[in-house]
Structures are given as C-alpha cells and as structure tokens.
Amino acid sequence: MNYFNFGPPAYPLDKFPVLVRETARELSWHLQAPDALIAMSLLAVMSAACQGRIKFKLPTGQVRPVSLNIFAIAESGERKSALDDLVARALYDFVARRQAAHDLAMEQYERDLAMWDDVAQVLQQKRSALIRKGKPTDEVTMELAEHRKIKPARPRMRKMVHQDLTGRAFADAINGNGESIAWMSAEGDILLRSGAMKQLGWLNSAWDGSTLTLDRADGKSVVARNPRVTISLMAQPSAFRQHMARHGEQARGTGLLARFLVGWPASTQGKRFLSAAEPSWDNLTRFHERVGELLDEYDQALAAGSIDQTILTFTEDATTRWIKLVNDAEPLIRPEGAYHDINDVVSKASEMVGRVAAILHYFSEQEGAISLDTLERAIVIVGWHVDEFQRIFSETSDTSIAHGDANILARHFHTQVWQKGFASVRRNDILRFGPVALRVKRRLDPALDILVANGAVWTNRDRRGRSYVNLNGQFFNNFFSF
C-alpha cells in the first residue's frame, strides 16, 4: 500500500456539467484546495441531493439507487473543513429548514396532545364512574377505544446530515421507506471511529438499497426499505492508516471498500497565494440553489406520502456503450490482467458509472434518457477513481511498485543525505550505496521521475557530465517518514 502519496493525475473536472465544472473552478480559484478534493465534495453533495428523487435501470434490467460512497484522503491544512462548509452549505441549510419546521410541528403536537389527554381523561373518569355505579360501560369503552386511535403522532425529526453515528442511530435514521440521509464529515476520523462504521453488512446493504431488518437492544425491530445513504468522509493519512491497519482487511473482504470512490490528491500547500480580489461565488450560489430545489422536492414527496422515484434509463447508444464497457473490463481482471489486483473494484465500476451518469443527467436537468455523452463523461470520472484505488491499494501494479520505490528513495535521501548536511548526491552513488532494491536503473529511474515530478528533487549534470540529484529543502525539511 502506498502510504506516502505523490499524487494522481489531474482530476477530469472538464467532464462535469457546465454548472458543476464552473463551480469547481470557482472553488479552486478562491480556496486553492486540491481539484480532486473539490470534485469529490461536489459529487457527494450531488449524490445526497439526487438520491431521494431518482434511481436508474441498468441494461441488465436491475433498478439501482444512485447513492455514492466517497473517501478522500488529505493532509491537515488542505482546507477540508472550509471546503465542506462551502460545498455542503445547501445541505446544512436544508437541515436548518427541517429543524424549524419540526419545531413548529412539535408545538402543534404538544397542543394537540394536551387536548387529546383532556378528552381521554374525561372519558376515563366517565367510565370509572359507571363502573362504581354498576352501570354498563360498553358505550364509553367504545368511545375511549376510538379516541385512542386518534392519539396525535409525535412528529419525526428527519435529520438528513449525520457525522458520528452509532449503530442504533444509523438504524433509526434509515427506518421506514425511502429515507434519505448523508453521512459525511470533513473530520473523517470521527466517522471512521463511529459505531455504524463497524456494521459493514449494513453499509453494503444501504449502498445496494436493499431492505434492512435491524434488531435493536430494546427488543424492537427497525425495517428500512429502499434506504438511500450517501457516505462522504475526508480523512487525514494518519487516520486512514490506522483504520486500514485495524479494519482494512475486513472492509476489503466484505466488499465495502470496493463500493467507495477513493482519492488521495496531491497537496496544494506551498502553491497557494492570496489575492486582494473579493471572492465571487456566483456559480456556487447557483449550485446551492439546484441542491436546494432537489431536497425540497424530496420533502414535498414525503409530505404527500409518496416516495416513488423517477427511474432513469439509457439511450440505445449509451446502452451499447455500457455493455461494451463491461465486456472490455472482464479480461482485465484475469490473473494476467492490468486490474487483476483490484477485481473487486472493477466489478463494481460499471454500476458506479451508471450512478454517476444518472446524477450528472438529473442534476443538470437533462431530459429523457441518459445520453451517450453523459455516460462517456461518467466513464472518465469513475475511471480516475479506479486508477486511484489501484495506485493507493495495489501491491503489485507497476505504478504501485514505482511509488513504493519513490517512498523508499525519499526516506533514504532524508536520513542518509539531508539529515547529514548534504543537499545533493551523485546518481552513481545512489546506484552503488543507495537502497539495495534500487541499485538497478530500471527501478531507480521511475522512482526518481516521481520525485522530480512532485518537486522533491531535481537533476542536473556538472561540466564533466556527471549526473547529480539535488534535494528540495522545503520538501525535506517537512518530510515525514512513515
């Protein structure tokens, strides 16, 4: 596993619909957070906004939810909290509106309950008096039974956005039919330590939209039908490493990890500069408006007692393309295939493509079936995450080996060169005295290329043609060896 991150290729922001793409660029310009972190935040919020309103039909005939699981790994200082506050603001505003409506409903409920109690007390007293007098109570008993049927129901507070969820709280949140929640945090260690994160089977079923019957400790059962759960967490590398050390094998073995779009973007720290210009959030404002519209539509449907969701389908050419995607991917997961070490992710990727395509289609208010163009955009987006999963988790891919070697080489430079007071080293000396595994050009060159690409080192030749590797002081002064 590549615990030292040198960064993936640039995120394909150009594949987002116009509003989302321009919102991402606006956030990138003003916040200067990593593009992939911005993109994953936007995807999570779009998923939460759309999941209660739509589902989609695969060419295989299965009808599936569109909910996404997002797992972003980013260092402290990458502006995760600021990004969450900005992108998810419409979700938090929706929660506030729900809370205000719930407060009003509770006030009315308490008034109605007080009146109901008064009538119930009068009927009970009347019945008791008849009993004392030895008179028939059939009529008043029937009145009392009918009255009990109309006892006011306590309003349910549907808290959509959650952070620290216990197993019971998770069960209560999705109890019912078609409940939609977003479980998200910019401080991912809170979410990773929560009780619900240990319920891997529940989380898998929630992603699948399957019916869940959960037995609680108080003896009551919770039945969640058609749950819609978006999970989005941003975790620091230390929290990520700790979680993977404790639960990674189980998360991978049960298929939960394969249900996540993961990303570990390269840092923008050291490349961010302030501007005196007043930030303009025109596109973000329109993004929030669209999120708010979708969430309000969902609440209106709930209030009307209808949780029927629009089922999106693919156009004929998009269907043909999706089938080709599945067939082309199959040989890649054979033992000799390029993705054999992440076959669990590839097996879910085609469905993830469908989910992302449906979200892009609905969020951007496209009409009719999901087009080939939208599907192609989703293929590129999900493809970035598939490659990122392999980069982070694979033990055998060439990319993984090169990044692992870069990690080893960086540690060697830090301990054997930089900390001993030197700022450069001859390349031939690395081949002679460097890490044993890297004393061959075919291993050393790719590792050096990665370090150069990420600004850790640069190379040059002296007048005699000898090649040197020069160490970037800013990088190695802040180097942390895992």
For the stretch 286-325, pLDDT in tens is: 999 999 999 999 988 888 877 778 999 999 999 999 999 9
Q: Is the pLDDT of residue 401 over 70?
A: no
Q: Is the pLDDT of residue 248 over 80?
A: no
Tens digit of each residue's pLDDT (9 = 90 or more) over 114-134? 999 999 899 999 999 999 988
Mean pLDDT, range 451-474, rounded to an integer? 88
Q: What is the pLDDT at residue 404?
A: 67
Q: Is the pLDDT of residue 378 over 60?
A: yes
Would you list the domain boundaries of the chain? 14-96+158-162+248-393, 398-477
Q: What is the pLDDT at residue 415?
A: 84
Rg (CA), the chain: 28
Cα–Cα distance between 60 and 312 in angstroms, integer? 14
Q: What is the pLDDT at residue 4?
A: 46
Q: Is the pLDDT of residue 194 over 80?
A: no
Strand order in the sheet with 228-235: 161-162, 180-185, 228-235, 69-73, 260-263
Which has the higher per-residue pLDDT, 226 or 166? Answer: 226
Q: Is the pLDDT of residue 482 over 70?
A: no
| Strand duo 221-225 + 212-215: pairing | antiparallel
CA distances from 360 to 15, 224, 351, 376, 378 (A): 10, 27, 14, 11, 8
Mean pLDDT, range 461-481, rounded to an integer? 82
Per-residue pLDDT band for 2 (boundaries 50, 70, 90) equals very low
What residues contact 136, with CB distance under 8 A and at least 6 apart? 130
Task: Name, of 4-13, 131-140, 172-181, 366-375, the range with top average pLDDT.
Answer: 366-375
Helix axes 35-50, 282-303, angle to 10 degrees: 20
Compute, in degrees rounded to 10, the torsion defined by CA atoms 419, 421, 424, 430. Answer: -50
Of 14-23, 181-190, 354-363, the poorest mean pLDDT is in 181-190
Residue 217 backbone phi and psi in degrees, to 5: -65, -25
DSSP string, 39-65: HHHHHHHHHHHHTTTEEEE-TTS-EEE
Domain covering 398-477, topology: Arc Repressor Mutant, subunit A (1.10.10)
Q: What is the pLDDT at residue 479?
A: 59
Global pTM?
A: 0.77
Asked whether 46 and 359 are in contact (CB, 8 A), the reply is: yes
Q: What is the pLDDT at residue 451?
A: 86
Q: Is the pLDDT of residue 331 over 90?
A: no
Q: What is the pLDDT at residue 7?
A: 57
Cα–Cα distance between 477 and 474 in angstroms, integer? 5
Beta strands in 218-338 (DSSP E): 221-225, 228-235, 260-263, 310-312
Q: What is the pLDDT at residue 239?
A: 79
Tens digit of each residue's pLDDT (9 = 90 or more) over 11-23? 999 999 999 999 9
Q: What is the pLDDT at residue 107?
A: 92
Per-residue pLDDT band for 223 (boundaries 50, 70, 90) equals confident
